């Protein structure tokens, strides 16, 4: 049976890996990226490159996007030559970026008004998992739409979890990432404290990593912070974005995320010091260099 035509908008760290998995799964794929140079390698591997999001969406049965933030998503779906204008009735739109529930709600309404189906399907897993087809999709939307999209999602994933109606995936993803952000900031502060304390770093870290604080993320970050290796898997400025979106969503529900606010202040400090385009583990750099505020 012929596989459905798929479009993927956004070829960053995550989108590029996802595109390769779709090609590997035999899906006819059209890609679009703001900086068109990022499409070249995928074209040589069998993808078509579109000049605009609208062109990419035209004729596709499934249209995925993997973009930086709300602003990028709004522009790509609803802006000039935006993807929504290219969709046909019955197409399924799958927004995989980490975004606010507020924007997902607006985008769902715009999709429904055009007669297309919508899923929010942000992911956990990073660069390596995107490349290996081992992402975990956190899905919001109708169960019937998810069943339609499942074969395409499966080509990119290790697991698919249906959380509830549209916006549910975005909500759990922001909760997940604010907890991640707090852990990354905390292990950065802990390592900075160890380095100033006179303790032997490796032995002191063993206590943390083999004990209760040693979550998979804390272990990964401790390795990157001590090597140090700030080659981006997850851009620091994007984790700051996720923390601020989580704080905003909680605020709309009369909840103050004080731990997320404290973590965000460390990430903002690192961005101000020029580390925004490095891996999130670079949050430790200002703590090492500048002392506490």
Assign 3-class secondary structure to 142-198.
CHHHHHHHHHHHHCCEEEEEEEECCCHHHHHHHHHHHHHHHHHHHHHHHHHHHHHHC
Closest CA to 62 of 155, 173, 134: 155
Near ligand NAP by CB under 6 A: residue from 66, 84, 107, 243? 66
- 35 touches ligand NAP by CB under 6 A: yes
With respect to ligand NAP, which residue has the nearer C-beta, 94 or 194?
94
With respect to ligand NAP, which residue has the nearer C-beta, 123 or 191?
123
Near ligand NAP by CB under 6 A: residue from 30, 33, 266, 281? 33
**127 catalytic residue (yes or no):** no
- 98 touches ligand NAP by CB under 6 A: yes
- 71 touches ligand NAP by CB under 6 A: yes
Packing angle of the helix pair 216-226, 168-197 (nearest 10 deg): 50
Q: What tokens appear for 178 in the block?
A: 């604010």
- 75 touches ligand NAP by CB under 6 A: yes
* DSSP for residue 130: H
Cα–Cα distance for residue pair 254/63, rounded to 1 Å:
35
- 243 touches ligand NAP by CB under 6 A: no
- 238 touches ligand NAP by CB under 6 A: yes
Near ligand NAP by CB under 6 A: residue from 166, 235, 263, 271? 235
Give residues with Cβ within 8 angstroms of 117, minimum separation 6.
Answer: 90, 91, 92, 93, 111, 141, 142, 145, 148
- 281 touches ligand NAP by CB under 6 A: no
- 34 touches ligand NAP by CB under 6 A: yes
Near ligand NAP by CB under 6 A: residue from 67, 84, 155, 247? 67
Burial of 274 (0-12, 13-18, 19+ CB in 10 A): exposed
Q: Within 111-130, which residues bind ligand NAP (CB under 6 A)?
A: 123, 126-127
- 72 touches ligand NAP by CB under 6 A: yes
What residues pair up with 64 in beta bridges, in sequence order?
8, 94
Q: Within 182-221, which residues bind ligand NAP (CB under 6 A)?
A: none
Residue nearest ligand NAP, Cβ-based? 12
Cα–Cα distance for residue pair 292/267, rounded to 1 Å:
13
Packing angle of the helix pair 236-252, 101-114 (nearest 10 deg): 80
151-174 burial, b at 16+ Cβ within 10 Å, e below that, comes to: ebbebbbeebebbeebbbbbbbbb
**Active-site option among 38, 148, 173, 219:** 173
Q: Which stretch binds ligand NAP (CB under 6 A): 67-75, 105-113, 195-203, 244-252?
A: 67-75
Q: Which stretch binds ligand NAP (CB under 6 A): 34-42, 107-115, 183-191, 264-272?
A: 34-42
Interface residue list for ligand NAP (CB under 6 A) = 10-15, 33-35, 38, 66-68, 71-72, 75-76, 97-98, 123, 126-127, 233-235, 238, 242
Catalytic residue list: 173
């Amino acid at each position: 049976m012929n596989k459905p035509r798929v479009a993927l908008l956004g070829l960053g760290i995550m989108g590029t890996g996802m595109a390769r998995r779709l090609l590997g799964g035999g899906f006819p794929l059209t890609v679009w990226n703001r900086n068109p140079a990022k499409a070249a390698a995928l074209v040589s591997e069998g993808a078509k490159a579109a000049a605009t999001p609208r062109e990419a969406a035209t004729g596709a049965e499934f249209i995925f996007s993997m973009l930086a933030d709300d602003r990028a998503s709004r522009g790509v779906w609803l802006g000039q030559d935006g993807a929504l204008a290219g969709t046909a009735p019955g197409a399924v739109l799958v927004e995989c970026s980490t975004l606010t529930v507020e924007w997902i709600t607006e985008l769902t309404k715009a999709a429904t008004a055009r007669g297309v189906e919508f899923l929010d399907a942000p992911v956990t897993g990073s660069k390596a998992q995107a490349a290996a087809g081992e992402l975990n999709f956190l899905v919001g939307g109708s169960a019937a739409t998810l069943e339609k999209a499942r074969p395409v999602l499966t080509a990119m994933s290790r697991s698919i979890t249906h959380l509830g109606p549209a916006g549910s995936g975005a909500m759990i993803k922001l909760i997940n990432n604010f907890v991640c952000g707090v852990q990354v900031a905390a292990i950065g502060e802990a390592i900075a404290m160890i380095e100033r304390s006179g303790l032997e770093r490796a032995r002191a870290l063993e206590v943390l990593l083999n004990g209760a604080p040693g979550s998979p993320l804390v272990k990964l970050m401790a390795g990157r912070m001590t090597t140090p290796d700030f080659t981006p898997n997850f851009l620091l400025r994007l984790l700051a974005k996720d923390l601020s979106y989580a704080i905003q969503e909680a605020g709309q529900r009369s909840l103050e995320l004080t731990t997320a606010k404290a973590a965000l202040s460390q990430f903002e400090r690192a961005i101000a010091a020029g580390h925004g385009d490095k891996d999130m583990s670079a949050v430790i750099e200002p703590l090492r260099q500048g002392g506490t505020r």
